[in-house]
C-alpha cells in the first residue's frame, strides 16, 4: 500500500501530477511492469508511469535514508520507499486514470532516447512530415527525441550540414540519416569526455563546460569555422541561441 509521496521539486520534464498524493495514498499496487525505460506502477484505478530520462535512477531504500542531491521524488511504501534521483531532470512521473485514451496513447507520444535502437533517420523523417517548425526547435522540444539540449542540437546540425532554421518537414530522409548519426556521435562523445553528464549544464564560470575543445560551433560566434574558415554565426530561435556556419549548413 502507498502511504504517501514526497515531491522535492515541482516536476522534471513535466510538472508532477498536482493531485498524485490524493490519487494513490492508501491504494494498493497491483503490479509493477517495465516497458523500455518506462516503469508502470499499476493500481486498480489507474497507472503511475515513471520515466528515467537519460540520468534517472530508482532506488528501493529504508524509510530513514537521508536525502541526497537530485532526490526529487519518493513513493512511500509500508516498510521502505522508492526514490527517484535524476540529475538531468529528463525523467517524468505521470498519472493516468484507468480506461482513459491517454493511458494508452502516452507511450507513443513521448520522444525516444537518441541512444536507443528505435532512434534513426527514418524515425526523424516519419515524425516530421507535418512539422513546419525549424529543425533546431523541433529537436529541443523533446517531443521527438529526448535529451538533445542546446549544445548538442547546434553541434549535431553542424555535423549533419543542416541549417538550424530549416523547416523540419523540408528535410529528406538522407539528411535525417546524417542527423541521427550526428546526434548519436555528439552524445556519445560528450558522455565519454564529460564522464558526468552534469557538466553539460555549466562550468564554475557559468559557461557550458562540455567538450569545449571539440565544439565546432557552439559558443564560437565570430570565430572561424573549423571546417571552412568562415565566421560562425549566432541567431535566436525561441528563447535559445543557436550557433551555425552559414557556409557548411544549408
Options 29-37, 46-54, 181-189, 241-249: segment touching Zn ion (CB under 5 A): 241-249
Decide whether 43 or 216 has the Cβ nearer to Zn ion: 216
- The candidate with the shortest Cα–Cα distance to 159, out of 133, 132, 139, 130, is 139
**At closest approach, how far in Å is the CB of 50 from Zn ion?**
42
As measured in angstroms, the least distance from the Cβ of 212 to Zn ion is 19
Tell the smallest beta-carbon distance from residue 160 to Zn ion (Å).
Answer: 13
Q: Which of 69, 5, 71 is nearest to 41 (CA)?
A: 5
Select from 21-29, 67-75, 81-89, 223-231 the region that touches Zn ion (CB under 5 A): 223-231
What are the two backbone dihedrals, phi and then psi, of residue 224, each rounded to the nearest 5 degrees?
-70, 135
**225 binding Zn ion? (CB under 5 A):** yes
Residue 53 grid coordinates: 530520462
Cβ(149)–Cβ(199) under 8 Å? no
- The correct pick among 227, 231, 234, 235 for binding Zn ion (CB under 5 A) is 227
50 or 157: whose CB is closer to Zn ion? Answer: 157
Residues β-bridged to residue 59:
83
* Measured distance CA(236)–CA(243) in Å, rounded: 9
Q: How far, in Å, CA of 62 to CA of 73, rounded?
A: 15
CB of 102 to Zn ion, least distance (A): 45
Query: Which residues contact Zn ion (rule: CB under 5 A)?
Result: 225, 227-228, 230, 245, 247-248
Amino acid at each position: 500500500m502507498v502511504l504517501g509521496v514526497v515531491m522535492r521539486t515541482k516536476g522534471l520534464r513535466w510538472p508532477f501530477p498536482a493531485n498524485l498524493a490524493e490519487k494513490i495514498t492508501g491504494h494498493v499496487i497491483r503490479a509493477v511492469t517495465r516497458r523500455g525505460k518506462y516503469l508502470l506502477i499499476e493500481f486498480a484505478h489507474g497507472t503511475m508511469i515513471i520515466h528515467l530520462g537519460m540520468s534517472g535512477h530508482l532506488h528501493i531504500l529504508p524509510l530513514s535514508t537521508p536525502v541526497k542531491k537530485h532526490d526529487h521524488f519518493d513513493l512511500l511504501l509500508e516498510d521502505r520507499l522508492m526514490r527517484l534521483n535524476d540529475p538531468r531532470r529528463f525523467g517524468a512521473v505521470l498519472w493516468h486514470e484507468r480506461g482513459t485514451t491517454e493511458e494508452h496513447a502516452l507511450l507513443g507520444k513521448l520522444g525516444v532516447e537518441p541512444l536507443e535502437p528505435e532512434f534513426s533517420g527514418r524515425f526523424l523523417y516519419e515524425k516530421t512530415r507535418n512539422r513546419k517548425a525549424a529543425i533546431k526547435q523541433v529537436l529541443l522540444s523533446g517531443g521527438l527525441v529526448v535529451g538533445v539540449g542546446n549544445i548538442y542540437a547546434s553541434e549535431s546540425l553542424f555535423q549533419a550540414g543542416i541549417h538550424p532554421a530549416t523547416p523540419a518537414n523540408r528535410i529528406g530522409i538522407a539528411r535525417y540519416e546524417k542527423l541521427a548519426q550526428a546526434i548519436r556521435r555528439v552524445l556519445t562523445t560528450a558522455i565519454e569526455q564529460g564522464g558526468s553528464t552534469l557538466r553539460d549544464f555549466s562550468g564554475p564560470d557559468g559557461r557550458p563546460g562540455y567538450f569545449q575543445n571539440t565544439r565546432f560551433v557552439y559558443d564560437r560566434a565570430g570565430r572561424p569555422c573549423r571546417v571552412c574558415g568562415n565566421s560562425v554565426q549566432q541567431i535566436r530561435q525561441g528563447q535559445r541561441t543557436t550557433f551555425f556556419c552559414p557556409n557548411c549548413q544549408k
